[in-house]
Structure 1
């Protein structure tokens, strides 16, 4: 399960957002703004797979983040971490709007 977590509107009527854990069908955290929820989701997806904590050898952080181009129209993004899921490496890429997407290694290349 590559994206175990989902950002949802909190169900308490507050108009805030939360992070839903799809593996256990419960809230992981609530009462965040949208940007905070997206950031929390990205960090949790880096740390956990469907079975629990990711093995350390399946995570690689990129510090400082590296500019990359993504296959979809070769759009520019910023790569800050890798995870191995299902035998394939995926890069965590943040676009210019701050949205985070997991992209297969084969669909990324270093930016010029």
Structure 2
């Protein structure tokens, strides 16, 4: 079985979070639903495998609606990844559209839309 860098792990209090085996740090709060943590870990592992470059830093934030530079709705952003292999290095946001599709977009191309999104189910 291949070793993966990011994994979903149970936290204290019954929630789950994403853990980085390289830094030894948690990338998210350990308050997520298990499926959300698993999908996020899979996204990060796939991104790192696709680019062939290590992810330098991950910042998980309160999900917010965003627009693309075309100022059209893009979806909801919940994660920022710092990509030092870009020229110049830049922050890239994980944006999920209403159909559930995920796209990684340069931070310079994104703007806030309507504010925070409720994550309560």
| Structure 1 length-normalised TM | 0.51
Question: Which residue is 1:111 aligned to?
Answer: 113
Equivalent runs, 1:40-79 vs 2, <5 Å:
41-45=42-46, 50-52=52-54, 54-55=55-56, 58-62=57-61, 64-72=62-70, 74-79=72-77
Structure 2: how far apart are the matches of 1:66 and 1:110? Answer: 7
Q: CA deviation at 1:95?
A: 0.5
How do 1:64-103 and structure 2 match up within 5 A? 64-72=62-70, 74-85=72-83, 86=86, 87-103=89-105
Structure 2: unaligned runs, 5 residues or longer: 1-38, 115-121
Moved more, 70-79 or 96-105: 70-79
Alpha-carbon distance in structure 2 between the residues aligned to 1:72 and 1:97: 20
| Aligned length in residues | 71
Q: 1:46·1:83 contact (CA, 8 Å) conserved in 2?
A: no
Specify every segment of 5 or more residues in structure 1 that has no aligned partner in the other structure, as ranges.
1-38
TM-score (norm 2): 0.48
